[in-house]
Amino acid sequence: MITTVNPANGAPLRTYPFTTEPELEAVLDRAVASLRRRDSESVSWRADRLRELADRLRGSVERSATLITTEMGKPLDQARAEIEKCAAACEYYADRVDDLLAPQHVSLGSDTGYVRLRPLGVILAIMPWNYPFWQVFRAVLAAVAIGDTVVLKHADNVTGCAVAVQDLFTEVFGVGVVNVVLLPPERIGPLIDDSRVAAVAFTGSNRVGAMVGARAGAAAKKAVLELGGSDPFLVLDDADVPAAAAAAVRSRFLNVGQSCIAAKRLIVARSVRDSFVDAVLASLRALVVGDPMAAGTDIGPMARVDLRDELRRQLDSALAGGATLLAGGSDSRPGAWFPPTLVEVADASSVAFREETFGPLAALLAVDSEDAAVEVANSSVYGLSSSVWTRDPDRADAVGRRLAAGSVFVNRISESDPRLPVGGVKASGYGRELGAHGAFEFANVQAVRTAASGVRTVQ
């Protein structure tokens, strides 16, 4: 059984039974049947359905946002923004699905040739809780646009959101396009093995992601893995310091700091360290911590008590290792609360720099040069995204080329956008979501070549 809990007060919300084996068999058969049915859909029909999905998301924004906040604790205004982001992604692919699915003709002399995208099959999506709607849409929307179907294994603590996402897709695309299953961890491996599953999309921890990738690889199945990050936020000596400080606070503490692409490591030129810290502390003092359902709240509880406890362990370890506490540090109220916290570390070996910190804890390190900033940025095992702050565009480009990261944002925070691919390198995983590149991950990129006349044999 799965019981969802309100992280603001620890109150149980609802209990859900696990999917039985016969029910799982029926789900997989339904996903396969829907896949076959979808082959007759026209491109214009899919585009219309994507626009309808956007309309339904906006029409149910209050219900969906309230569910998100109740299950995982993010402030209600941020939950509304998450729903709007999903709607915008639907419109993006609605406007582009015709181009994505149009044959790309290739010059082959007298022969005719083209490349087309065909559905890959049933995609198993194993999704996290931090953006319970957006993570699903980000991972599978392009696949649904192409004609794939989805089996969704969502994080247990956002089961209500998982069911709501399934219902939205069912209302618009029909039964079997997105199918929720509720499974304990030991049943996920056999599901990956099942011959009806063509590929796996996973977002989550490195430990579990490595197991998912290995299991998929053993079955010769495609996998896209987004395994988190410890993103560097580089403030160079010529940066607009007030703007950089405000952006650092927004990036690190949005969604209660529970974002893979948050600015977790603030790497700051020593010459601007003092002014940057002063500006960050002023922004931190302005954050409103409180009831996530209340208007104007910036920071609510973390999603679960165990996550709060892990962040406390990391903070305590960092302080024991010589880090200096500049703000925050403790919150005694019941529930999964953790205050906005800033520490300054002595070097990149600190736990706060070495490990991914998934919550409202920022770590700062002052460095003496641009080369040192890049070296520290690349010292992490992760390589998801990055942010570079400088007034010199050429300098930003040169630094960005040296960063081992899937994305580089210049003078703005890292954020996912349906128009750009999202994904990482190193321990942050492989594959891409969103944009045109994301559409290729779960497609059969099929080449077609036809002889100019008659049957042509190989010489």
Q: Tell me, yes or no, if 226 is annotated catalytic.
A: yes
Asked if 152 and 200 sit in the same domain, the reply is yes
Domain count along the chain: 2
Report the C-alpha dihedral over residues 99, 409, 61, 42, rounded to 10 degrees.
10
| 253 within 8 A of 360, measured Cβ to Cβ | yes
Q: Which of 233, 245, 239, 232 is nearest to 271 (CA)?
A: 239
Q: Is residue 120 part of a domain?
A: yes
Q: To which H or E segment does residue 50 belong?
A: helix 43-59
Does one domain contain both 138 and 277? Answer: no
Same domain, 148 and 94: yes
Query: 235: closest CA among 281, 280, 193?
Result: 280
Q: Are residues 223 and 360 in the same domain?
A: no
Residues 153 and 86 placed together within one structural domain of the fold: yes
pTM for this prediction: 0.94
Q: Is 21 a catalytic residue?
A: no
Q: Tokens 């209660």 — which residue?
A: 256
On whether the CB atoms of residues 103 and 114 are closer than 8 A, the answer is: yes
Structure tokens at 9: 């007060």
Region for 279 from its dihedrals, namely left if φ exceeds 0, alpha if ψ lies in -120 to 50, beta otherwise: alpha
User: Which residue(s) pair with 410 in the sheet?
Assistant: 388
Name the active-site residue from 260, 344, 433, 441: 260
Which residue's structure tokens are 């799982």?
A: 24
Please report whether residue 453 resides in a domain.
Answer: no
Residues 238 and 222 in one domain: no
HEC sequence for 389-435: ECCCHHHHHHHHHHCCCCCCEECCCCCCCCCCCECCEECCEECCECH
Residues 197 and 235 both lie in one domain: no
Q: Cα separation of 331 and 427, whole Å?
A: 32
In a domain, 13, yes or no: yes
238 and 210 belong to one structural domain: no
Asked if residue 364 is part of any domain, the answer here is yes
Element (H, E) at 153: strand 149-153
Residue written as token pair 């392009």: 142
Catalytic residue among 71, 82, 226, 415: 226
Does 109 lie in the same domain as 90? yes
Share of the chain residues as helix, strand and coil, in percent rounded to the nearest 5:
45, 20, 35
CA distance to 49, 101, 145, 168, 172, per residue, from 94 (Å) = 8, 12, 8, 16, 13
Whether 206 and 341 share a structural domain: no
Residue 180 within a domain: yes
One DSSP character per residue, 191-236 reads HHH-TTEEEEEEES-HHHHHHHHHHHHHTT-EEEEE----EEEEE-
- Asked whether residue 431 falls in the same domain as residue 399, the answer is no
310 with 436, same domain: the answer is no
Q: Is residue 417, in this structure, part of any structural domain at all?
A: no
- What values do phi and psi take at 181, rounded to 5? -125, 140
Return d(Cα 439, Cα 431) in angstroms, integer: 11
**Is residue 456 included in any domain, yes or no?**
no
CATH of the domain at 205: 3.40.605.10
CA distance 69 to 81: 12
The pLDDT tens digits along the chain (459 residues) read: 999 999 999 999 999 999 999 999 999 999 999 999 999 999 999 999 999 999 999 999 999 999 999 999 999 999 999 999 999 999 999 999 999 999 999 999 999 999 999 999 999 999 999 999 999 999 999 999 999 999 999 999 999 999 999 999 999 999 999 999 999 999 999 999 999 999 999 999 999 999 999 999 999 999 999 998 999 999 999 999 999 999 999 999 999 999 999 999 999 999 999 999 999 999 999 999 999 999 999 999 999 999 999 999 999 999 999 999 999 987 777 788 999 999 999 999 999 999 999 999 999 999 999 999 999 999 999 999 999 999 999 999 999 999 999 999 999 999 999 999 999 999 999 999 999 899 999 999 999 999 987 666 555
How many other CB atoms are found less than 10 A from the CB of residue 392?
Answer: 12
The residues with which 433 forms a beta bridge, in sequence order, are 422
Paired tokens of 339: 């205050």
CATH of the domain at 263: 3.40.309.10
Domain hosting residue 112, numbered range? 2-227+424-448
Burial 365-374 (b: 16+ CB within 10 A, else e): bbbeebebbb
Q: Is the residue at 459 inside a domain?
A: no
Mutual angle of helices 134-146 and 76-101, in 10-degree steps:
20
User: Residue 360: what residue type?
Assistant: P
